[in-house]
Chain A
Amino acid sequence: MAQELAIATQGLTKQFDRHVAVHDVDLQIRTGEVYGLIGPNGAGKTTLIRMLAAAEEPTLGEIHINGDRLWQNQDDPHLKRQIGYLPDDFPLYDDLTVWDYLDYFARLYKLREPRRRERLRDVLELVQLTHKRHSQIATLSRGMKQRLSLARTIIHEPLVLLLDEPVSGLDPIARMQFREIIKSLQAAQMTILISSHVLSDLAELCNSIGIMELGYLVESTTLDHLYQRLSQQQILLTTLGSVADLQAELRTCPHVEAVEVLSDGQRVKATFSGDPTAAAALLRSLIEANIPLTEFQPMHEDLESIFLKLGHKQAS
């Protein structure tokens, strides 16, 4: 098993009754990577994550975490400390305060004083709940509870973080806060597997993407590779002059396949097939043609469009 792989599965299969929820999945996630798992409801994402967290026993197949074989519920403290798992329903103890709850899990993960207190403070700060540390969990909002669950998941500084739909049901501000936390964890070199239906979030956070459908991992690749292979490049242009002149000039470029005038009448979206050198040449030619450009922005098709293009039906 290659050491740089944080998660590696071989032939991972889970069957519920006669329904195969996860079918022969070979997943490989490199250390330090943020891996997004997408797929329609019932595709097997949660089951896959539960098996990786050792919360579910695979019917067949092997799981390796940082090179070590994972067995379900085996008393292997070393391996258990490497994994942090946040399920989609994040159950909590309502009778405890925020501090007591985290303190309890810190003790369960064998954090000793004074490191424990220090870690609790850091984690509370990271999830922006320091001001709520003495509040009863029952009094927290959904977003706060979700952040508290994330704090519980990372309290022992796991090397592998498994997040199952962590932003479902959150409002845009809470989602943004959650994204920022994930970015901080990414900076701390944690390997993160995150499943979500909010593809714009994944596009912002992930290095790699896996697509699951009917229990199969149908796609598993880096985001850059996915864009390169499947995304149509587009250039957004804004002019102060005549849009017709801009359109005419664009059509002279062999790499421009289509031009669309946007609703405000001053902006144009060009479908472009060239590389960055060709894009630079196009920009130069437009300036030389005295087009008064205020914006020239090459961009990809977003992840959701790619996903739909692949023929999957993603519930967003």
Chain B
Amino acid sequence: MLSNLLLRMSDWNPQFFREVRGRLKPRQFWLTVTASGGIQALILLYMWISLPGYQARVDRYCIGKIEPYSDLRQCALNAQGYPSIDWPRWWFDIFQALSWIIPFVLLIGGVYMLIGDLAKEERRGTLNFIRLSPQTSQRILIGKLLGVPVVLILGAVLAMPLHLAAAVQGGVSTLAIASLYSITIALCCCFYSGAIFYAFFGGAQSWLGAGTMWLCYSIFAQMWYYSHNYNKGNWLLGIKTWFYVNVGSHLSLTTTFVIVNLAIATGWIWRAINRRYTYPNRTLISKRQSYLMTLSFEIFCLGFAFFEYQRYKDWPTRDGFNSLIGLLLINLFWFVCLIAALTPHRQTLLDWSRYRHAQERRRNLLKDLIWGEKSPALLAIALNALIPTLLFGGWSLTWQDDSPKLIGLLSLAFNFSFLLICAVVAQLVLLAHFKKRAILTAAVIAAMILLPPIAMLVMGVAPSETSAALWLLSGFAFAGLDYATQFTIGFGILAHLTIFSLFTTRLTLQLKKAGASELKILTAHRP
């Protein structure tokens, strides 16, 4: 029966079967069992050593009066001089330790393994063979997602009996256990898909992916620790309100919120990786996908800006404007990723400009620029940038506190313009004749965003009336707008328009040149 089940599984997903077969050989299997058992034994041993000993006075696991300002309790000793142990607390700590270790290993290890595996497949060219087979992209990618980290999944499953036993003994509610497992699974789905996305993006450095994952995990751990210790029951998982709904108030609500959002994110990433798998030479996402992705991302982010503002008499809080700054900074990061995922490479643009007239299903230029697969992404990025501009703009008009509405709107306008300049520069670099165009583009955009503020801060040019113009030219225009006069703002708008026009003209010329026929190029050099 088991062999029949295995046979069916292997026929359902040959990729999963291949990964399991390649990775779960007897040696690896026993190594995993030993490692998982070893870690569990170490935790138990550590916890055993942590138990209060003979005639202990205060300890975390004693049953007695709580010591002031600490986590410790006074120990009540029995007739033999041994303290009574708070076993549920001891088991709860084991549960908590495993609750941190299992997702940590699954997420960081899984991301590392997936990036490494796919980068290796791309480098060797073996992925092309799989691509040419009649299997759907979904099936192959699911096989990879489940199969590549199979050793880690096995290790985690082996730790589950102890984890569950500790939960039961520690008095952890079923809801908390279910939340933990479902969030871990949702996180794995999201970050594993993200790892494949990164690998398809050309990233071969698995340590970088794992390092980023580690960083995210640490930030989350800090958020959790903060919310756990200082805002008990109000900020679950570091989340408070979203569109005024207090999603952080109840575990089931928080879990649902997190899982729904992770599912939406996973869905978008999943569509992108399926597309990239099927069409390796196209952009990571289509223009059509990008509009919906940006809209859902911006709505998600905007939700956190809706909360009850604190009001202090005679003390400017500017909560709305401060939230807008936060949104703009997150947006900057989003658009860097979007520009990278949406901007077509040199070959695609050359083909588009040279052979667009010969395409079977030729559409008009405007439609092509908005929806087309191979057309330059500038207009599409402008439309994408318009989404947060309109969304946040509309929201800023509803500010009821002391936030400056006009500065908020101007910040959005400058941000929009700056993003367009970044997009056109990225397209120009990608169209250029360099070998490592993608890396160069990333470097140029990162420099455009980060270098001006860093340089100004290093040189001590803090936002002020005299330096406002400089800040307006950077990606952090909101910092200068508070100090800018009408004349400075006018200068800033003019400068943005001039820079954008210059780069766009250059791009148009380059595209026209790229689209010229061989004959035209030959005759162009004749006197």
Give the B-binding residues of A (Cβ under 8 A).
15-18, 20, 53-55, 57, 59-60, 72-78, 80-81, 83, 85, 87, 89, 91-93, 95-96, 100, 104-105, 107-110, 112-113, 152
Contacts and interface: CB of A to CB of B under 8 A. Distances in A.
A15 B134 contact: no
A74 B280 CA distance: 12
Nearest to B281: A57
Given A15-B351, A96-B21, A107 B11 contact: yes
A256 B210 CA distance: 79
B325 interface: no
B278 A75 contact: yes
Contacts of A112: 11
A107 B17 contact: yes
B132 A83 contact: yes
Contacts of A105: 129, 133
Contacts of B346: 17
B55 interface: no
Contacts of A80: 132-134
23 contacts: A15-B354, A17-B347, A17-B433, A55-B132, A72-B279, A73-B131, A75-B137, A83-B132, A89-B125, A91-B126, A93-B22, A95-B22, A104-B18, A104-B21, A105-B129, A105-B133, A107-B10, A107-B17, A107-B18, A108-B15, A110-B135, A113-B7, A152-B129
A75 B132 CA distance: 9
A100 B125 contact: no
A15 B14 contact: no
Contacts of A108: 14-15, 130, 133-135
A60 B7 CA distance: 43
B31 to A, nearest CB: 16
B350 interface: yes
A258 B124 CA distance: 55
A85 B137 CA distance: 19
Nearest to B13: A107
Interface string B1-45: 000000100110011011001100000000000000000000000
Contacts of A55: 128, 131-132
Nearest to A83: B132
Contacts of B351: 15, 59
B355 interface: yes
B136 interface: yes
Q: Which 3 A-B pairs have the closest CB atoms?
A: A77-B134, A107-B14, A108-B133
Contacts of B11: 107, 112
A63 to B, nearest CB: 14
B358 interface: yes
A104 B350 CA distance: 39
Contacts of A73: 131, 278-280
A77 B136 CA distance: 8
A59 B128 CA distance: 19
Interface centre among A16, A18, A74, A96 (most CB of B within 10 A): A18
Interface of B: 7, 10-11, 14-15, 17-18, 21-22, 124-126, 128-137, 278-281, 346-347, 350-351, 354-355, 358, 433, 518
Given A15-B350, A96-B22, A109 B125 contact: no
B68 to A, nearest CB: 60
B134 A104 contact: no
Contacts of B17: 104, 107
Given A93-B22, A100-B21, A109 B350 contact: no
A109 B11 CA distance: 10
Contacts of A87: 125, 128
B435 to A, nearest CB: 12
Query: Secondary structure at chain A's binding surface: helix, strand, loop or mixed?
Result: loop
Contacts, number: 81
A75 B136 CA distance: 6
Nearest to B137: A75
Contact of A104 (B14, B137, B281): B14
A238 to B, nearest CB: 52
B281 A60 contact: no
A112 B124 CA distance: 28
A15 B358 CA distance: 14
Contacts of B135: 108, 110
Interface centre among B130, B133, B137, B358 (most CB of A within 10 A): B133
B350 A18 contact: yes
A53 to B, nearest CB: 7
A26 to B, nearest CB: 16
Nearest to B516: A18
Given A100-B21, A109-B134, 10 more contacts: A17-B350, A17-B433, A57-B279, A74-B278, A75-B134, A78-B134, A93-B22, A96-B21, A100-B18, A108-B135
Contacts of A17: 346-347, 350, 433
Contacts of B355: 59-60
Contacts of B124: 91
Nearest to A85: B132
A93 B278 contact: no
A113 B14 CA distance: 13
A25 B302 CA distance: 54
Contacts of B279: 57, 72-73
A55 B126 CA distance: 12
Interface centre among A72, A91, A108, A152 (most CB of B within 10 A): A108
A109 B133 contact: yes
Interface centre among B129, B131, B358 (most CB of A within 10 A): B129
Interface centre among B132, B135, B358 (most CB of A within 10 A): B132
B224 to A, nearest CB: 39
Contact of A110 (B21, B134, B281): B134
Contacts of B354: 15
Nearest to A96: B22
Contacts of B134: 75-78, 80-81, 108-110
Nearest to B21: A100
B357 to A, nearest CB: 11
Nearest to B360: A62
Contacts of B22: 93, 95-96
B466 to A, nearest CB: 48
Contacts of B347: 16-17
Contacts of A85: 132
Contacts of B7: 113
Contacts of A100: 18, 21
A76 B433 CA distance: 35
B269 to A, nearest CB: 20
A17 to B, nearest CB: 7
A35 B7 CA distance: 40
B433 to A, nearest CB: 8
A76 B137 CA distance: 12
